[in-house]
């Protein structure tokens, strides 16, 4: 039988944010001993782990598969620490232009989930991060993570959501009594030692558990609100806090996700965003090059002088400025001296009207 390692115990113990039905099924399998854990963990965690992600045409694909846990478990699932290292590696890799999170998860351990969400946002600030939710869904802690991606695409048969937290407290005092046992807890305070098997669960203790549930839920909701922004209204988010999971089509309608589609479609969408970014960077380099040569388009002058394009065109006509060059796209180019004339005309107009925007 597999030995329980320190890392494995740390991954399992503590509060969870996971789909209740998955958790019930998992516990049933463990109790029935029909699921055999790995005898040992053949795993190298941390920043030196081999192949932290799979690169496909400049896109790093990172899997969040099964239950999410801060550590590594012989029962499977995904280590959020490993995912965080993979995100950092992908963000720093010059050969990677974007990151796709491939998610099939019922949720997971609370510990490690907020840090993973922070890491996803940090990576997205460097390179676009999209999420592709498969048929395994993105429930609870997995949705907390997914919500931090710039775009979420979910398979038509998947379900997402399960926003919120729950706790199960078993009062086994009557069972102990029926077994002829009396459990004594000697503690330094009224709440210290509450929850020990065989003891009575007090209302005061249940209230502290309620406070913890509400605290974690508030953090969950704040993260979803930050990640989804205006795509998910406060009213819609509040309505989704009943803990249900929603089919992809319904989730898209209310703003929990952005699109219904396959992993391939999610990949294509990210590739399009990357290509658009490359074109914009190319245009920016062209503007810099033109500025270095002292040549500007009307759009360049509008950006440099922070005024609408139509006002630039008006000043060009008014000063009867003539362009003697065009760029590859056919747009007229003006010299530094001509832009200075436009700026002088704008200042004169501002002096007459009292405001440049008047």
| DSSP conformation letters of 142-156 | HHHHHTTSSEEEE-T
Same domain, 34 and 103: yes
Q: How far apart are CA 22 and CA 43, in angstroms?
A: 25
Q: Calculate mean pLDDT across residues 167-192.
A: 86
154-163 tens-digit pLDDT = 999 999 999 9
DSSP 89-135: HHHH-TT--EEEEEEEE-EEESTTHHHHHHHHHHHHTTS-EEEEEEE
**Are both 97 and 137 inside the same structural domain?**
yes
Q: Is residue 333 part of a domain?
A: yes
Residues 257, 315 within the same domain: no
Same domain for 109 and 27, yes or no, is yes
Q: Is residue 286 part of a domain?
A: no
Are 253 and 347 in the same domain?
Answer: no
Residues paired with 17 in a beta bridge: 108
Q: Are residues 113 and 257 in the same domain?
A: yes
The 10s digit of each residue's pLDDT in 100-147 is 999 999 999 888 999 999 999 999 999 999 999 999 999 999 999 999
Distance between CA atoms of 51 and 292, rounded to whole angstroms? 43
Range of the domain at 64: 6-162+244-271
Residues 11 and 108 in one domain: yes
Asked if residue 178 is part of any domain, the answer here is: no
- If asked whether residues 266 and 302 sit together in one domain, one would say no
Instruction: Evaluate whether residue 222 is within a structural domain.
Output: no
CA 18/CA 289 separation, integer angstroms:
53
In a domain, 287, yes or no: no
pLDDT of residue 48: 46
DSSP-assigned letters across all residues of 184-225: ----SSSSTTTT-TTSPPPHHHHHHHHHHHHHHHHHHHHHHH
CATH assignment of the domain containing 107: 3.90.226.10
Query: CA-CA distances (angstroms) from residue 235 to 33, 301, 319?
Result: 44, 43, 54
Residue 71 lies in a domain: yes
- Flag whether 185 is in a domain: no
Of 137, 77, 136, nearest to 112 by C-alpha is: 77
My answer on whether 121 and 56 are in the same domain is yes
β-partners of residue 103 are 64, 133
**Cβ-proximal residues to 237 (8 Å cutoff; 6+ apart), any chain:** 163, 221, 224, 225, 228
Are residues 254 and 342 both part of a single domain? Answer: no
- The string of pLDDT tens digits covering residues 186-201 is 888 888 878 888 888 8
Does residue 90 belong to any structural domain of this protein?
yes
Supply the CATH number for residue 315's domain.
Answer: 1.10.1660.10
| Same structural domain, 157 and 258 | yes
Residues 51 and 139 in one domain: yes
Instruction: Report strand pairing: 332-335 vs 325-326.
Output: antiparallel
* Number of domains composing the chain: 2
b/e for 40-75, b at 16 or more Cβ within 10 A?
A: ebeeeeeeeeeebbeeeebbbbbbbebbbbbbbbbb
Winning range, highest mean pLDDT, from 31-35, 139-143, 330-334: 139-143
């Amino acid at each position: 039988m597999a030995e329980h390692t320190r890392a494995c115990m740390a991954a399992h113990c503590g509060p969870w944010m996971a789909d209740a039905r998955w958790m019930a099924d998992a516990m049933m399998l463990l109790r029935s001993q029909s699921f055999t854990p790995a005898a040992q963990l053949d795993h190298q965690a941390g920043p030196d782990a081999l192949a932290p992600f799979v690169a496909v045409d400049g896109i790093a694909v990172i899997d969040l598969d099964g239950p999410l846990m801060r550590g590594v478990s012989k029962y499977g699932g995904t280590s959020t620490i490993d995912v965080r290292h993979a995100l950092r590696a992908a963000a720093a890799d010059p050969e990677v232009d974007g990151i796709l999170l491939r998610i099939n998860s019922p949720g997971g351990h609370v510990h490690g989930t907020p840090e993973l969400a922070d890491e996803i946002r940090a990576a997205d600030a460097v390179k676009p991060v999209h999420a592709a939710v498969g048929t395994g869904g993105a429930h609870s802690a997995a949705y907390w993570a997914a919500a931090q991606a710039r775009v979420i695409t979910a398979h038509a048969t998947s379900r997402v959501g399960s926003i919120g937290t729950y706790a199960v407290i078993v009062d086994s005092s009557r069972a102990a009594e029926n077994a002829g046992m009396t459990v004594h807890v000697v503690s330094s305070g009224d709440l210290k030692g509450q929850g020990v098997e065989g003891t009575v669960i007090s209302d005061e203790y249940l209230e502290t558990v309620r406070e913890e549930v509400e605290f974690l839920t508030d953090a969950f909701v704040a993260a979803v609100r930050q990640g989804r922004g205006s795509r998910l209204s406060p009213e819609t988010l509040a309505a989704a806090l009943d803990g249900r999971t929603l089919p992809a089509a319904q989730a898209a309608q209310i703003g929990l996700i952005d699109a219904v589609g396959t992993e391939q479609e999610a990949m294509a969408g990210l590739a399009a965003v990357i290509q658009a970014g490359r074109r914009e960077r190319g245009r920016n380099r062209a503007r810099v090059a033109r500025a270095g040569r002292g040549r500007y388009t009307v759009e360049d002058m509008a950006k440099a002088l922070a005024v609408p394009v139509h006002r630039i065109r008006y000043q060009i006509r008014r000063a009867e400025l003539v362009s003697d060059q065009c760029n590859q796209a056919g747009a007229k180019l003006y010299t530094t001296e001509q832009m200075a004339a436009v700026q002088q005309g704008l200042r004169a107009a501002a002096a007459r009207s009292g405001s440049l925007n008047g």
